[in-house]
């Protein structure tokens, strides 16, 4: 491989799934103003990555084809662009690339300093790479939308977390229990013990009648729902909500925005809140530090080398938390 080229996976059109990803050699990017060049050590895949490929966010994403997907990365700083003051070559970091340009399924990537944080030695590359999209979504849903104070202060909040064994759900359960909360969680039967171990007070198998109805085993009404699943109608949530309860939808579609508008127009005390992630450096630093302190865990279903990233892609589409580890030793 030429010295100025790198191995990457990209797709050139919408659709195609894992088969649409092609192994290519492309030029190693150069950091611009406020950017750093990383030698990637781990990349975490999120559902939004393959949803972009599927065309579910067209015409907005990706910005252009061909597109190297994935945004959540951990790596080592190799070079810094003009204006970068917080990092130098050799620093280990965690960061989030822009969804419009991607770049995570590659040996190297450029990332904005503004969405990059230091990775302490207590946090592995794989643990760190799992945090940006999933960890920040859980953090924003709980702290901004649900009003949970993660220092444990304030009145107790009764929470429901759907699809709690998924990427966002796992972080949401753990972060919620740092606050004054009672957590009811739903997941599949095979993951109930895992979700319980993460701190959930009650766990429902979503395929049982009570699980499908979202009924709290202790009869509680939910002040907030961190809704990480799909295809649950408002009519199922409504009877389980407290008087001012809200459903925070982390993957809002057209029906979610319609419900949101109708609840506003009718001055309903019960609300549906579509969540759009606004990543912030200070929040990423916060969750990385929680992992360092042993207060937050990244659960990884499986790991794949970059040479088999398409297998990781297929597994992510099937609903598993997967990471791509760059096992190459190439250096600039």
Q: What is the pLDDT of residues 63-117, one digit of tens each?
A: 999 999 999 999 999 999 999 999 999 999 999 999 999 999 999 999 999 999 9
The CATH number that domain 5-130+300-325 falls under is: 3.90.180.10
Radius of gyration of the chain (CA): 20
What is the rounded average pLDDT of the residues 18-31? 97
Counting every residue written for the chain, the total comes to 332
Q: Reduced to 3 states, what is the DSSP secondary structure of residue 239?
A: helix
pLDDT at 330: 34
What are the structural domain ranges in the chain?
Answer: 5-130+300-325, 134-274
Say how far apart CA 97 and CA 87 lie, in whole Å. Answer: 17
**Token output for 77:** 């700083």
What is the rounded average pLDDT of the residues 197-215? 97
Q: Are 65 and 140 in contact (CB under 8 A)?
A: no
Q: Are 279 and 96 in contact (CB under 8 A)?
A: yes
Closest by alpha carbon to 156, among 174, 131, 134, 183? 183
Say how far apart CA 225 and CA 332 lie, in whole Å. Answer: 47
pLDDT at 163: 96
**Token output for 228:** 């990480």
- Which residues does 2 contact at the CB level (< 8 Å), separation at least 6? 25
What is the rounded average pLDDT of the residues 115-133? 97
What is the rounded average pLDDT of the residues 22-49? 96
Among the ranges given (109-123, 207-221, 245-259), the one the predictor scored with the smallest mean pLDDT: 245-259
Please tell me whether the peptide bond between 248 and the residue prior to it is cis, using omega within 30 degrees of 0: no
pLDDT at 329: 35
CA dihedral 288, 291, 295, 300 (to 10 degrees): 120
Q: Reduced to 3 states, what is the DSSP secondary structure of residue 51?
A: helix
> Of 154 and 323, which is predicted with more confidence?
154
What is the rounded average pLDDT of the residues 45-71? 93
Q: Reduced to 3 states, what is the DSSP secondary structure of residue 94?
A: strand
What is the rounded average pLDDT of the residues 300-308? 92
Among the ranges given (33-37, 134-138, 311-315), the one the predictor scored with the smallest mean pLDDT: 311-315
What is the rounded average pLDDT of the residues 227-240? 94
Phi then psi dihedrals of residue 119, to 5 deg: -105, 110
CATH class of the domain at 134-274:
alpha beta
C-alpha distances in Å from residue 162, one per residue of 181, 206, 214, 324:
15, 9, 9, 26
What is the rounded average pLDDT of the residues 115-121? 98
Q: At what angle do helices 167-176 and 281-292 cross, to 10 degrees?
A: 70
pLDDT at 121: 97
Q: Are 30 and 323 in contact (CB under 8 A)?
A: no
pLDDT at 326: 62
Say how far apart CA 203 and CA 253 lie, in whole Å. Answer: 26
Place of tokens 């991607």: 102
Say how far apart CA 254 and CA 268 lie, in whole Å. Answer: 19
């Amino acid at each position: 491989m030429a010295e100025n080229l790198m191995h990457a996976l990209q797709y050139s059109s919408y659709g195609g799934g894992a088969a649409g990803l092609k192994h290519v050699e492309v030029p190693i990017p150069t950091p611009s103003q406020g950017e750093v060049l990383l030698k990637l050590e781990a990349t975490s895949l999120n559902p939004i990555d393959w949803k972009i490929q599927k065309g579910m966010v067209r015409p907005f994403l990706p910005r252009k084809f061909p597109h190297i997907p994935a945004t959540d990365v951990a790596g080592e700083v190799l070079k810094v662009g003009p204006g970068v003051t917080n990092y130098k070559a050799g620093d280990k970091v965690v960061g989030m690339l822009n969804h419009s340009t991607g770049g995570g399924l590659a040996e190297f990537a450029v990332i904005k300093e503004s969405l990059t944080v230091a990775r302490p030695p207590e946090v592995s590359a794989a643990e760190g790479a799992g945090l940006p999209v999933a960890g920040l979504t859980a953090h924003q849903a709980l702290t901004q939308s649900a009003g949970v104070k993660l220092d444990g202060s304030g009145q107790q909040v009764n929470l429901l977390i759907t699809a709690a064994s998924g990427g966002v759900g796992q972080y949401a359960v753990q972060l919620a229990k740092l606050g004054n909360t009672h957590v009811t969680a739903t997941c599949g039967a095979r993951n109930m013990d895992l979700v319980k171990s993460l701190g959930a007070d009650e766990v429902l198998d979503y395929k049982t009648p009570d699980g499908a109805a979202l009924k709290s085993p202790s009869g509680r009404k939910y002040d907030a729902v961190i809704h990480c699943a799909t295809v649950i109608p408002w009519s199922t949530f409504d009877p389980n909500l407290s008087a001012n309860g809200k459903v925070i939808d982390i993957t809002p579609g057209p029906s979610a925005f319609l419900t949101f508008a109708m609840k506003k127009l009718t001055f309903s005390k019960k609300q549906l809140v579509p969540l759009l992630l606004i990543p912030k450096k200070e929040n990423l630093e916060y969750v990385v530090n929680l992992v360092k302190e042993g207060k937050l865990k990244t659960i990884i279903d499986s790991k794949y080398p970059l040479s088999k990233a398409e297998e990781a892609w297929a597994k992510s589409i099937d609903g598993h938390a997967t990471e791509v580890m760059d096992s190459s030793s190439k250096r600039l």
